[in-house]
Structure 1
Amino acid sequence: MSLVSNLLTMLVLLGVGIAARSIGVLTPARRELLNALAFYVALPALIFSSTYAQQLDEVLTPALLAGLWTVLVVMVATGWIVHRSARSASARSVAIVQSYHGNLGFFGLPIVAATFGDVTTAKASILLGMGALTQVPLTILILVMLNERDASLADELTQFARNPVILSLAAGLAVAVTDVPVPDVTVAGTDVLSQFVLPTALAGLDALSQLALPIAVICVGGALSLESADVELSTVGSVVALKVFLMPAVALAAFSLLASSPSTVRAGVVMLAMPSAVSTYVYATEYGGDERLASVDVFATTVVSLVTIFVLLRFVIGMG
């Protein structure tokens, strides 16, 4: 599928989600079921299938992790300064969080998988797992600190340890590093597991992983909302500028300096160019952030990123 076709497909799927929500087909209950299918089935299948057969030393590199954490530190510091004049602490906390907390799972990984090869997708899967381990505690900490809310990070991290994204990444990397042997089970001289069972299982896993992009994008479309317009447009514009334009530029600089592999640069830049995560709205609601601003920011960064991601993909595809 060409890059243009991928973009058009994303636009159509996003429109389907928005339309289904507006006419009442994608009700909150149905959206939760679709989210669960993406989060607990399709994304874990994509993560596992992209990592289990890789050479671990090729995909899990110091440059990959150093690039991720460098970009996050730069963006948090920049957001802290840029959004210091937000009209309230709740608005400032949301603006800072949504300037770095990207939609790595529902947008980033499926887009990388649809555009690049297995090695780049495996590196993007690692960025998703490590990014989640970094972004979620950091987001909760900022919201709690600026809004003076009580929360147990220990409880959040315990719950997060059961996250299917983390579990599937750990399983894929474990298989990759241990090279688990297949038991020899024969029937009438035929190795059943290697010739029939495993190929069928892997084909089913691959089919599930192909569902990640369409399901995830429909979920994002179904969650977008502009119902609350009582927000400072300057703050929304600042979040869009930082998340959609500055963060990919910082990622390109960081990964180009730290990594020599084009696949590492591609995975890092594309993943970190994603719009603000829909989950940031959930965290804002839970920890005293400005819910209206969070909703509008997700919508604005998602719409603008459809164009910027297309341009960025054309650029990184042309890298040597």
Structure 2
Amino acid sequence: MDFWTIFSQVLVLFLLILVGYIAGKQQMITKHGAKEISTLVLYITLPALIIRAMQFDFSIELLGQSLKMIGMAIAVYAGTISLSYLFAKLLRAKGKEKDVFQTAMIFPNVGFMGYPITQGLYGTQGIFYTSLFNMPFDLLMWTVGVHMLSRSSDSSASKKKGLAALLNPGTIAVAIGFTLFILSIKLPPILDSTLLYLASATTPLAMLAVGSTLARTRVDAIFANKKLLLTAVIKVAVIPAIMIVLFTILKLDGYFLKIPIIITAMPVAANVAIFATRYESDELLASQLIFLTTLMSLVTIPLIALFLG
């Protein structure tokens, strides 16, 4: 896949955000409406996407590679979580600003961008390994992500702790999807088609919600915020660069080199803005980061993909 093909895939998401921005400016999507859309994505369409993403064939010979990729994903997330504390301290961020910056550094846009781009780059095998690498995402988003985004919030939804925090649509969907994967159970055609329709609504709905939230601020203010700009650069360039150096030293190659780096280089996950809205954090700042990192990724993702070969 060449630079322009990858560029066009990222541009589509950027244009969806623009549509949401216009809809927000015209009051077709209100602040209350954006929150309802976010809830719809979190509780219905995103779980459908998760379950369908795990509907791929499993074989014994791939078990070792599968476990290795899952292990790498856990290691990468542990690393980015650690780096998020370091970079947040360097940025001198506090309160909800710190909560959003840290969460944004950790969680990449896998479901909305990672799958189509890795499929375009590496075909069916790309989807297979991306699905495995993405397995810890939802568990961490609903635990670490919720903790970070709610720690400065008074939201009643943020008060769920312990086991109750794990019983959410995201982790339940992961459990269902992984069980179906391990047991090689394929969904009945009617159920599969239903989930397909729901899953396909996730990206446009999430991007529209992000865009409508952005409509409540001046876009030029985004580029005047130095902390926001630095966080965006850290997310799409600095962290992937650190990974490239580290993985090269470790002499990783093939999909175990390419998939983790490509996925980590994705813009901030739309889930961050959706969760920020749900848990009454700074959803505006989260939406600004998604907008800015998506804009930057129009250049950074194609360049990183070309570098990896």
TM-score, normalising length: structure 1: 0.71
What amino acid is the match of 2:297?
A: S
Q: Relative to structure 1, is the Cα distance of residues 180 and 291 closer, same or farther in structure 2, using a 3 angstrom cutoff? A: closer
d(CA) in 2 for partners of 1:89, 1:10: 30
2:262 is the alignment partner of 1:270: yes
Which residues of 2 match residues 201-280 of structure 1 at below 5 A?
201-224=191-214, 227=217, 229=221, 233-253=225-245, 257=250, 260-262=253-255, 264-280=256-272
Alignment-derived partner of residue 27 in structure 1: 30
Alignment-derived partner of residue 179 in structure 2: 174
Q: Does the aligned pair in 2 maintain the 1:275–1:302 contact within 8 Å?
A: yes
Alignment-derived partner of residue 187 in structure 1: none
d(CA) in 2 for partners of 1:288, 1:32: 10
2:138 is the alignment partner of 1:132: yes
Q: Does the aligned pair in 2 maintain the 1:17–1:222 contact within 8 Å?
A: yes
Alignment-derived partner of residue 192 in structure 1: none
What amino acid is the match of 2:179?
A: A
Alignment-derived partner of residue 129 in structure 2: 123
Secondary structure in 1 aligned to 2:89? helix
Q: Does the aligned pair in 2 maintain the 1:226–1:295 contact within 8 Å?
A: no
d(CA) in 2 for partners of 1:181, 1:42: 19
Q: Deviations over 1:72-112 (max 9, x none)?
A: 33334334334435455324444333322333344434554
Deviation at 1:245, TM superposition (A): 0.6
What amino acid is the match of 1:170?
A: A
1:165 to 164, 170, 176: 170
d(CA) in 2 for partners of 1:269, 1:203: 32
Q: Does the aligned pair in 2 maintain the 1:104–1:271 contact within 8 Å?
A: yes
Alignment-derived partner of residue 305 in structure 1: 297
Q: Does the aligned pair in 1 maintain the 2:206–2:270 contact within 8 Å?
A: no
1:80 to 82, 85, 100: 85
Q: Deviations over 1:267-293 (max 9, x none)?
A: 322322222344545666888966765
Deviation at 1:306, TM superposition (A): 3.4
d(CA) in 1 for partners of 2:45, 2:155: 34
User: Comparing 294-303 with 166-175, which one deviates more in the overlay?
Assistant: 294-303
Q: Does the aligned pair in 2 maintain the 1:52–1:174 contact within 8 Å?
A: no
d(CA) in 2 for partners of 1:42, 1:230: 29
d(CA) in 1 for partners of 2:235, 2:273: 15
d(CA) in 2 for partners of 1:307, 1:124: 21
2:69 is the alignment partner of 1:64: yes
Q: Does the aligned pair in 2 maintain the 1:144–1:150 contact within 8 Å?
A: yes
Secondary structure in 1 aligned to 2:126? helix
Q: Relative to structure 1, is the Cα distance of residues 101 and 255 closer, same or farther in structure 2, using a 3 angstrom cutoff? A: same
Q: Does the aligned pair in 1 maintain the 2:58–2:184 contact within 8 Å?
A: no
Alignment-derived partner of residue 58 in structure 2: 55
What amino acid is the match of 1:213?
A: T
d(CA) in 2 for partners of 1:205, 1:283: 22
d(CA) in 2 for partners of 1:303, 1:50: 26
**Which has the higher Rg, Structure 1 or Structure 2?**
1
d(CA) in 1 for partners of 2:191, 2:81: 42
Q: Relative to structure 1, is the Cα distance of residues 282 and 200 closer, same or farther in structure 2, using a 3 angstrom cutoff? A: closer
d(CA) in 2 for partners of 1:30, 1:149: 21
Deviation at 1:261, TM superposition (A): 4.3
What amino acid is the match of 1:15?
A: L
What amino acid is the match of 1:44?
A: P
Please list every run of 5 or more consecutive structure 1 residues that lacks an aligned counterpart in the other structure. 183-197
Q: Does the aligned pair in 1 maintain the 2:105–2:268 contact within 8 Å?
A: yes
Deviation at 1:32, TM superposition (A): 4.1
Secondary structure in 1 aligned to 2:106? coil
Secondary structure in 2 aligned to 1:117? helix
Q: Deviations over 1:147-195 (max 9, x none)?
A: 699999993454543433333332222122223499xxxxxxxxxxxxx
What amino acid is the match of 1:301?
A: T
d(CA) in 2 for partners of 1:212, 1:285: 16
Q: Does the aligned pair in 2 maintain the 1:79–1:99 contact within 8 Å?
A: yes
Please list every run of 5 or more consecutive structure 2 residues that lacks an aligned counterpart in the other structure. none
Q: Deviations over 1:229-257 (max 9, x none)?
A: 49983322321121111222234455664
1:18 to 21, 31, 36: 21
d(CA) in 2 for partners of 1:294, 1:253: 28
Q: Does the aligned pair in 2 maintain the 1:112–1:120 contact within 8 Å?
A: yes
Q: Relative to structure 1, is the Cα distance of residues 45 and 267 closer, same or farther in structure 2, using a 3 angstrom cutoff? A: farther
